[in-house]
Amino acid sequence: MEGMNYSEAVKRLDAILEDIDQSRVPIDVLAERVVEAAALLKRCKSVLTETEAKVRDVLQDLEKDFGEAKEEE
């Protein structure tokens, strides 16, 4: 799951949830699917957190750059 990108993780999670919702998961493997779904959710959260931090950093840099430009004028 570590190398899986966000879109792949969401797609797999959707498939697992659909299978569970439609009762297509045998009881013998239900626990395995729940564990997999939990890992996928953690992966998605990790990607979102990393993305949020990157976007925040870029916005702060832009604000800093534009703030300095206004002060120089």
Q: Which residue has the higher pLDDT, 71 or 23?
A: 23
DSSP 24: -
Write the pLDDT tens digit of every residue in 39-69: 999 999 999 999 999 999 999 999 888 876 5
For residue 28, what are its two tokens?
């013998």
Please state at what angle helix 27-72 crosses helix 6-21, rounded to 10 degrees. 140
Residue 70 has a pLDDT of 53
Check whether 73 has a pLDDT greater than 60.
no
**Would you say residue 71 has pLDDT above 80?**
no
